[in-house]
Amino acid sequence: MEETLIKVTDVKGTILKPIEATFKVEYKYEGEAVAEEVLSGDVRRGTVKGEKFPVPDATKDLEYSEVKIDVKGGVQNLNYASKTLKFFGKLPPLGLDTGLPFKGIIPKTKKEKQGAMADRRETLLSQLKEKYPPQKTK
Amino acid sequence: MATPNNEQFVGFNPSVDLTERASKLVNSQRQIYTYEEMMSGAVGVTTLEAGTQGQTAGISKLAATYNIGGIEYDSYNLKCIASLTPEATAFVIAIGSIEVGAGNIFFISNRSNVESVDFQGFGGYTNNPLNFGAMVDNALDVSNPNLGLLYVNQLNIPDFPIEFNAMYIVGANPTNFECDAYIDMDFIVSKNETVEFTIA
C-alpha cells in the first residue's frame, strides 16, 4: 500500500503543497566512504509517496540514513530553505515532517499584505488579458 | 416568537450531567450549542468590510467542528460581495487574505452565486452558482453563459509564509461581460488555531 514517506512541511507542520523541490534519501554504511542513494525524485504536492523506505543491506551496519530536500530557485516558488535530516542507526520515520525554515518576509502591516495581494492581482490579470484580449466596449 | 437567550434555550447548565429517558448518554458526551452558536452556524453572521476594489468581505467562525481521522478542525465562513464591472474580458478581484497560525486551510463548501441582468433577454435577473457556464451579462443587458473562466482562487504568495492565503475572484470570457459575485464559502483549519482576515 502506498504511504506518505515524507511530508515537506514548514517548522509549524504546515504542508508546503505548492513547493517545487526534489528529494534524495541516502544510506551510509559503517566503513564505507560515501553514502548510497536509495531513493530520489520530485516532491509532488508537498509529499513523497511510496510503499516504504528501501530496506538497508542486511549484510552491512547502517551508520545513518539521510533525507535531503532541495528547494528549487525561482521567484514563483515558495521561499523556504533546503534541508538535510540525518537519522543515526535507523531509517527515517514514515510520514517524516521536514520542517523547512522560512526565508521570506513575514508581513506585519495591512499595507504590506494589501500590496502583495495587489501585485499578484496585476500579474494574474495581465496573464488573463493575453488569453482573453480586451475588446472595445460597444 | 421571542428570541430565547442562551440559558432559556439550553434549559440547564451544560456542566451538569443529566440523562434523558431511553438514553444512556450524559451531557459531557454530547456537543451542546448555545442558541447564538446554533444561529451563527445556520446563517453565518458576518461583518463585511469595504475593500480597495469596491468589494466587501469578511470571515466568521462557525459553530460546527470536525474530527477527520482523529484530527480536530474548526470551521469558518468567508463572504464577499463584488461587482465585476465595467464590462471587460478579464477580471481579478482581490478579496483579502486568510492567515492561520499553523496548518493548511481546506475549503469544504462553496455556495457562491453569480447574478446578472437579463432585462433585454428573457427578463429579470439570472442567478447561477459561480462557475464556468454561469450566466453573465453584457452592455446590452442580455445574459449568456460564461465561456471562459469563473472561479475563486486561493493562492500562497511566494515570499510570504504558507499560512498566508490570498483569495481572489477570477473571471474571463472571450467577449466582454459583467456580473455581480456573492462569495459564500466554508473552510476548516486545525482546532484552536488563530485565523485572521485582512481585506484587500
Q: What is the predicted ipTM?
A: 0.89
A107-120 pLDDT, tens per residue? 999 999 999 999 99
Low-confidence stretches of chain A (pLDDT beneath 50):
none
Contact A43, A19 (CB under 8 A): yes
B38-60 pLDDT, tens per residue? 555 545 456 899 999 999 999 99
What CA–CA distance (Å, rounded) separates B126 from B180?
Answer: 10
Residue B67: HSE in the Cβ half-sphere, 13 Å Cα cutoff: 2
CATH number of the domain that A29 lies in? Answer: 2.60.40
pLDDT of residue B1: 45
Give B8's pLDDT tier (boundaries 50, 70, 90): very low
Contact B181, B114 (CB under 8 A): yes
Residue A55 domain flag: yes
pLDDT of residue B36: 55
Residue A74 domain flag: yes
B200 interface with A at CB cutoff 8 Å: yes
B137-178 pLDDT, tens per residue? 998 999 999 999 999 999 999 999 999 999 999 999 999 999
At B80, give phi and psi (nearest 5°).
-155, 140
Say what the pTM is.
0.83
Residues A88 and A34 grouped into a single domain? yes
Secondary structure letter of residue B28 according to DSSP: G
Contact A137 B104 (CB under 8 A): no
Residue A50 domain flag: yes
Residues A45 and A109 grouped into a single domain? no
- Nearest C-alpha in B relative to A129: B90
Domains held by chain B: number:
1
Q: Is the pLDDT assigned to residue B30 strictly greater than 90?
A: no
- Of all residues in chain B, the percent with pLDDT exceeding 70 is 77
Q: Which residues of B touch A121 (CB under 8 A)?
A: 92-94, 168, 200
Residue B153 domain flag: yes
Residue in B94, B172, B175 closest to A118 by CB: B94
Closest CA to B97 of B44, B43, B153, B150: B153
Q: Is A93 helix (H, G, I), strand (E, B) or coil?
A: coil
Domain that holds residue A18: 3-97
pLDDT of residue B22: 63
Contact A120 B148 (CB under 8 A): no
Domains held by chain A: number:
2
Contact B126, B115 (CB under 8 A): yes
